[in-house]
């Protein structure tokens, strides 16, 4: 069922809503043509372990808001923004005055825009009330499960750091055009970073991450076990000769090697500034036909899901790339105005800055080949678990060290690797995809398969 802006407030005005509405009214009275207030209220509990030992658990409550104002200027609109986390009447009034003063001193721009209200549909299951009931003792207990499970797998394992945290976020946005929205979400996160040591043989560092909206979907012990298996499998690493061949990018490495460059190229701000490799390429084939990518903000219970973006615009589900063909750029209101189109709801950011651009839940569509079959197809190749290096998102050129990698020869994994580098151009290599796995892994705000690419330069000893 589609809800109006006011329906999402649950029929009753809450303090944050009243505060935002009052500031909007004040801004208009003080000369603003349009105004927007974005308010955040959050609660965080976290337990951190370092070198297997518990550090002081922390709890934090935060409130802050940002005020954006527009005033008329010659040939366009002047914009001002100011933020505060001191919500006293004097501080709020001073923040509003600062935003207006900045607007008056700023140049005019015809593309500044405060969006109009649209029907908004709430997203199911992004808030778990268990988050409100948890205590610091609870998060310590959950974090200890990760540490104990990892170390219990093998005495050779050391947890360099581990963290279990619970976050509740309530965001409210009100503007002078009638947008009045509120949304509450929860995030449970469990993160471990460690290595294994067997005498003089020390594995590379590796990480395991689990981030979900619901308490029941996080298993700290299993997170610890998966981390232990990774670092133990990295013992016994050996050098390999240099070669040009297949690489299989795991979902963990794909975030830096694949997702980040593609997002950069699809970010409308980068397109308009001429920094994107894919500027003026809508409708063109930019990747292998084996690659299809969707950004979906409507998935129930997913961390990236939301009913509205940083500007109160309902984000659309976008088939960003279909069988290698580029269909969409990511827009907020400002970049959409520049291209004379509508925002697709990708405005991002917090209370302390003007809206930027981001994705929601990015999904690289799984393929039809198993990971085992991908490995079996390699006469000589490399399974890349993590990548440590540089990726130039403008050009696509990258080079760096493979961490936790596995050498493949004649269709079989031979041994872990060390002192191995890879280099190439990711935009070019993603046109040479040989296979995409049917297995996938869910990261914080993405769902990613394994991707096999041909023709990558591997530098060993």
- Tell me what pLDDT residue 10 has: 36
CATH number of 6-230: 3.30.2290.10
Whether the predicted pLDDT of 317 surpasses 70: yes
- Tell me what pLDDT residue 15 has: 80
- Tell me what pLDDT residue 9 has: 34
Whether the predicted pLDDT of 14 surpasses 80: no
CA distances from 25 to 21, 40, 183 (A): 6, 19, 22
DSSP secondary structure code for residue 361 in this structure: S
Please compute the mean of the pLDDT values over residues 391-411 and round it to a whole number: 94
Cα 428-431-435 angle, rounded to 5 deg: 130
Whether the predicted pLDDT of 444 surpasses 70: yes
Say if residue 403 is exposed, middle or buried (CB neighbours under 10 Å; 0-12, 13-18, 19+): buried
- Tell me what pLDDT residue 12 has: 35
Say if residue 253 is exposed, middle or buried (CB neighbours under 10 Å; 0-12, 13-18, 19+): buried
Please compute the mean of the pLDDT values over residues 62-81 and round it to a whole number: 96
- Tell me what pLDDT residue 323 has: 98
- Tell me what pLDDT residue 357 has: 98
Whether the predicted pLDDT of 235 surpasses 80: yes
The pair of three-digit structure tokens given for residue 377, joined into one six-digit string: 């197809």
Give the span between the Cα atoms of 70 and 109, in whole angstroms: 10
Q: How many residues does the chain have?
A: 461
- Tell me what pLDDT residue 16 has: 85
Q: What percent of the chain has pLDDT over 70?
A: 97
Please compute the mean of the pLDDT values over residues 426-447 and round it to a whole number: 94
Whether the predicted pLDDT of 1 surpasses 50: no
> Are the C-beta atoms of residues 378 and 456 closer than 8 Å to each other?
no
Is residue 456 very low, low, confident or very high in pLDDT (cuts 50, 70, 90)?
confident
Q: Which of 388, 431, 401 is nearest to 288 (CA)?
A: 431
338 vs 8 pLDDT, higher one: 338
Please compute the mean of the pLDDT values over residues 175-180 and round it to a whole number: 98
Our separate counts of H helices and E strands in the chain read 11, 23
Angle between helices 89-105 and 15-29 (to 10 degrees): 40
Is residue 166 very low, low, confident or very high in pLDDT (cuts 50, 70, 90)?
very high
- Tell me what pLDDT residue 305 has: 98
Please compute the mean of the pLDDT values over residues 174-192 and round it to a whole number: 97
Q: Domain limits of the chain?
A: 6-230, 237-461
Please compute the mean of the pLDDT values over residues 287-312 and round it to a whole number: 98
CA distances from 294 to 123, 291, 358, 420 (A): 17, 10, 13, 33
Cα atoms in the Cβ-side hemisphere of radius 13 Å centred on 379: 5
Q: Judging by DSSP bridges, how do beta strands 397-403 and 362-364 pair with one another?
A: unpaired
- Tell me what pLDDT residue 98 has: 98
- Tell me what pLDDT residue 364 has: 98
Whether the predicted pLDDT of 11 surpasses 50: no
Is residue 190 very low, low, confident or very high in pLDDT (cuts 50, 70, 90)?
very high
Which region among 27-31, 49-53, 80-84, 407-411 has the lowest average model confidence (pLDDT)?
A: 49-53
253-278 tens-digit pLDDT: 999 999 999 999 999 999 999 999 99
User: What is the greatest pairwise CA distance in the chain?
Assistant: 74
- Tell me what pLDDT residue 457 has: 86
- Tell me what pLDDT residue 175 has: 97
DSSP secondary structure code for residue 10 in this structure: T
Whether the predicted pLDDT of 115 surpasses 70: yes
The whole model's pTM is what?
0.92
* H-type alpha helices, 155-250: 220-233
Give the span between the Cα atoms of 456 and 453, in whole angstroms: 7
- Tell me what pLDDT residue 212 has: 97
Is residue 51 very low, low, confident or very high in pLDDT (cuts 50, 70, 90)?
confident
């Amino acid at each position: 069922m589609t809800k109006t802006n006011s329906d999402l407030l649950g029929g009753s005005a809450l303090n944050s809503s009243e505060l935002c509405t009052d500031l909007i009214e004040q801004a208009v009275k003080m000369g603003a043509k349009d105004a927007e207030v974005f308010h955040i209220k959050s609660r965080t509990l976290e337990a951190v372990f370092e070198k297997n030992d518990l550090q002081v658990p922390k709890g934090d409550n935060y409130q802050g808001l940002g005020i954006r104002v527009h005033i008329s200027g010659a040939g366009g609109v002047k914009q001002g923004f100011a933020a505060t986390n001191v919500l006293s009447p004097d501080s709020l009034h001073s923040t509003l005055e600062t935003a207006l003063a900045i607007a008056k001193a700023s140049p005019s721009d015809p593309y500044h825009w405060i969006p109009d209200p649209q029907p908004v549909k709430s997203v199911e299951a992004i808030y778990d009330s268990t988050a409100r009931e948890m205590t610091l003792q609870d998060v310590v207990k959950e974090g200890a499960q990760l540490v104990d499970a990892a170390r219990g797998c093998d005495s050779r394992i050391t947890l360099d750091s581990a963290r279990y945290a619970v976050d509740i976020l309530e965001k409210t946005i009100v503007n002078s055009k009638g947008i009045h929205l509120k949304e509450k979400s929860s995030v449970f996160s469990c993160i471990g970073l460690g290595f294994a040591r067997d005498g003089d043989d020390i594995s590379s560092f590796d990480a395991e991450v689990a981030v979900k909206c619901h308490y029941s979907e996080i298993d700290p012990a299993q997170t610890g076990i998966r981390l232990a298996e990774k670092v133990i499998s990295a013992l016994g690493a050996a050098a390999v000769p240099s070669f040009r061949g297949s690489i299989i990018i795991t979902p963990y490495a794909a975030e830096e090697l694949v997702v980040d460059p593609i997002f950069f190229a699809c970010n409308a701000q980068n397109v308009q500034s001429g920094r994107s490799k894919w500027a003026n390429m809508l409708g063109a084939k930019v990747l292998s036909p084996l690659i299809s990518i969707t950004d979906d903000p409507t998935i129930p219970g997913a961390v990236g899901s939301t009913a509205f973006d940083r500007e109160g615009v309902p984000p659309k589900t976008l088939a960003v790339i279909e069988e290698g063909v580029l269909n969409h750029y990511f827009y907020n209101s400002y970049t959409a105005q520049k291209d004379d189109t509508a925002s697709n709801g990708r405005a991002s950011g917090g209370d302390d800055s003007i809206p930027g651009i981001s994705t929601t839940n990015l999904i690289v569509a799984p393929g039809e080949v198993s990971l085992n079959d991908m490995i079996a197809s390699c006469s000589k190749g490399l399974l890349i678990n993590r990548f440590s290096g540089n990726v130039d998102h403008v050009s696509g050129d990258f080079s760096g060290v493979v961490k936790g990698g596995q050498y493949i020869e004649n269709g079989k994994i031979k041994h872990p690797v060390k002192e191995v580098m890879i280099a190439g151009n990711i935009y070019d290599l993603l046109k040479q995809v040989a296979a995409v796995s049917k297995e996938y892994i869910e990261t914080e705000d993405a769902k990613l398969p394994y991707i096999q690419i041909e023709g990558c330069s591997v530098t060993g000893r």
